[in-house]
Each structure stands twice: as structure tokens, then as C-alpha cells.
Structure 1
């Protein structure tokens, strides 16, 4: 990934950054971008193989590597321990990127209560409890930036995955409510909204010839939204350049919605 055209944010150097779901896709682009900026980066993921390849590549390219911890984010006790471990090794977390999610398609007719609860746990519940674990450290510093990842899916009235779209719609409410609660401590909370991003997962599972036509129809801009495009927005929101931005949505979708 060529980061030579990225803006430089001096305020990100040595900041402690925590990215969930950072091993592949959008998360990996975000992790690398923060490493490139000189931040102290930690991330969690369940994909050990992909995460190991990422940290080995970053070590070879930058001479330093992010801290990787395997974690199931639906295990709240494990999340709390991970945050303690990161603080012990790197310091209190100053930037949180709640990136982890799963957009597996599912028919409403097939959804069971157990499946619904699992999707909600993956796509919204864990985001709150990661925030809850991280916030005491930010409050101690009287500064912080939390970036939640939303989705255009519910805004675009996308069917075929009601548990996911419901969870992602709820993310916006979580952002706005928490922004009010922690703003007095100089902590910002915002939502980044990806469009259809050309990750390896999307290209392998869902982007076929018909999907390409749909993207061309729906986007105002030509071209494709790439993981690095989301990382650019995340870097801005993590940096001091966005110091008066909170409770807001920042959409990177090529003009889809």
C-alpha cells in the first residue's frame, strides 16, 4: 500500500492507538497508516495468520511493528484484560478505532434469536464495551478520540442482512450519545461511514460483474473506494486537526448515499 501521498499529522506521533479488527481489510489499512505516522499501535483480531503476516510486513517495512493480541471481542472480560495489557505495554489508549464487524448476509426468514444476539454482539455490543474499557484512561488524560465504524447499508435501504443493518444504524446513536457524555473530558466521538470498500473479503465473496455495475450506478464518483480511503479519514479524526469535531458522521462512499 502506497502511503506516500498521505497527509502528515504531527499530533499522531507517539499517540497510543487501539484498532479492533485490525488484521485484514480496512482495519489493516488503518493499522499501517498509524504505524506510518509514528503512532504506538495495538490491534486485536481473531485471524492470527492474517495478523501475523501484517505485523511481519510492517516490521520489515518500518522497522517497528504494532502490538497484536488475539481477542474475541464478544468476550467482555477478555476485552477489559486486553485494554489493561495495552496500557501496561504502551500507555493509556488515546485513540480508539472501533472497526471490527461482520457483514455476513442472512435472510430475515432464517434468523433465530440466537443468531440475532450473536450478530448484535459482534456488530454493536462489543463496540460499547471496548469504549467503556478505554474511556477511564482517556479521562485521566483529559483527551481522546473514538472513531466508530458505521455503514451506508441501512441508509441505502439494503436488504438481506437485517441484524447487521440494525446494528450499524445503532452505531450512530451510540456515537452521538457518548459524545455528549464524554465531551466535557475533551474526548471526541465520531462515526466513519464506509461505502462499498474493495477489501479482499468483498472482492472474493460479493463483488461480481453485476456488483460492479451497481457500484457504477450508485456512486457519484468514478473509481472504487479502497481501504486506504477510510484510513485517510480515520487519521484526520484521530489527529488534533479535528479537535472540534464530535458527534458527527464522516462518509467515504464515493457519493453513494
Structure 2
């Protein structure tokens, strides 16, 4: 059994044969958790498409994965532009096949305060943290209906569960993701479409380490998690693979928390 300090390259990934050949769409796939998702699904033999506004790291990732013989497609897109995003989704479906797995990963936990919040800023934060997920689901559902089923994986956050300060609109948007999951799961279940929320804990991405994780945060994590060690993007990707595959065929309308046992 691997110890608590196991690094990503030592992580033994499960293989889900049913995922091979499926078309997967991931939002925000260029860096962080999104990059781990792209790598994990491409390694399963999926036709892995992703969107992002960060073109430079996205193109480096594509170049690397294509060199490894994997099927990956990147389309630059601002997911807050609903019309453009849905157009890109239809283009991806036409190029690489019907999308039967959707991962609504893109978000921005930028810090903001109530005192300086404007109506325009509120709309911007909701657009990047919640609205795009609903309209991406709307765009892929016809593909999933024709295919006889599919999996939509929305990304929540433990932040609002912990009543974390510093990002009230982000917290509200992420909390609403759980309600969206429940509503869509009921509506789409008769079509064999599963909808779940994957809830990451405090994941040690490059952004988190650069901006917010100092010694005091490390101490807090060590005291708060039941499990020792870091929650890594690869841990989130492993849960996503399970939720995308037929291994989770009777899982819907649920929250799957990967946080080392915190909340």
C-alpha cells in the first residue's frame, strides 16, 4: 500500500475499458485540476476535447499528448460567452463524435468582498462559476439522448461548506451547483443521463500554492484532514474517471467529496 506522501507519478490509475473511444468535453482544461482531467481521460483512450482561455499552456499540453499518440483537441473559448461556447461544443461534436461525458470544471475562486461588489462583477463571477455549466449541459444533452445516455460531472467546492470568507459570490455560485445537479439529474434520468457533483477539497494546484498556501495553511490542512498528505489534482481526476464510466452506472444526483476527510 502506498504511503501518504505518494507522488502523482506513483499513483496507480484505474483503467475503465468502457471509456475508450468516448468523446469527453472538459472546460478549463489547460492547467490545474483541468489539466489533470485532460491527461487522465486521454490516457483512457477517450477522444478528449477541452476549452480554455489560457492558450499557451493549452497548446503545450496538446503538443505533449499528441506526441504520445493520444487523442486530444483544444479549442480556445471564453465559456462566459454562452453563444460562442455552445457553438464550439457543437463543432467539437461534429469533429470528434457525440459528446457523452461532460466535465464542467472551469471556475475562478478570485477573492472579492461584499463592500466593493457591483452588479456587473456579480454577473461576471456567476458566469464563470455556474452559468456556463448549465448551458454546456443544454448543448450536450441531445448527443447524450441519441447515444442512450451519458455522464455530466459538475464541480462543486468545499469552500462554501466550510463557510469560508473572502469570496461570497463564488461560494453562492458553487453552492448552487449542487442544486443544479439535483434538478438536472431528475430531469435527465429517464434518458439514461447521470448528473453528479464532484467536490474537491483544498487541492494543491500550482495556483493555490503560488497565491494562498503558506505555512499556516499547511498547518490548517494537516489539522483538518482525516488523512495526512496533500489532495492533488490527480486524486480529483481519478474520481472523475469513475463518475464518467459505467462503473458508476447507478450513481446520480450525488455529491462525491475528495478532500482527505475534511468536511
- Note if 1:200 corresponds to 2:206: yes
**Aligned to 1:108, what secondary structure does the other structure show?**
coil
Asked if 1:82 corresponds to 2:101, the answer is: no
Q: 1:238 aligns with which of 244, 260, 263?
A: 244
Aligned to 1:22: 29
Q: CA deviation at 1:2?
A: 2.5
> Match for residue 109 of structure 2?
103
TM-score, normalisation: structure 2: 0.95
How big is the shift at 1:58?
1.3
2:188 is the alignment partner of 1:182: yes
What residue is the counterpart of 1:45 in the other structure?
52
Q: Which runs of 5 or more residues in structure 2 are unaligned?
A: 1-7
The CA distance in 1 between the partners of 2:118 and 2:71, in whole Å, is 41
Following the alignment from structure 2 to structure 1, what is the Cα–Cα distance between the partners of residues 174 and 10?
Answer: 29
* Unaligned ranges ≥5, structure 1: none
Per-residue deviation, 1:210: 1.0
For residues 225-252 of structure 1, give each alpha carbon's deviation from its aligned partner in whole angstroms, at most 9, with x where no partner exists: 0000000000000000000000000000
| 1:80-229 equivalence runs, <5 A | 80-229=86-235
Aligned residues: 256
Question: Aligned pair 1:72/2:78, yes or no?
Answer: yes
Q: Which one of the candidate residues 1, 5, 9 is aligned to 2:16?
A: 9
Length-normalised TM-score, structure 1: 0.98
How far the C-alpha of 1:64 sits from its partner, in A, is: 2.6
CA distance in 2, matches of 1:201, 1:58: 22
Find out whether 1:33 has 2:40 as its counterpart. Answer: yes
* Separation in structure 1 between the aligned mates of residue 184 and residue 177 of structure 2, nearest angstrom: 11
Contact 2:43-2:70 at 8 Å conserved across structures: no
CA contact (8 A) 1:55 1:65 kept: no
Residue equivalent to 1:55: 62
| SS of residue paired to 2:9 | coil
How many angstroms does 1:141 deviate by?
1.1
Residues 194 and 4 (structure 1 numbering): CA distance in 2 closer, same or farther, change over 3 Å? closer
Q: CA deviation at 1:85?
A: 0.8
How far the C-alpha of 1:86 sits from its partner, in A, is 0.7
Deviation track 1:43-87 (CA, whole Å, cap 9, x = no partner) reads 000000110111112123x21341000000011111111111111
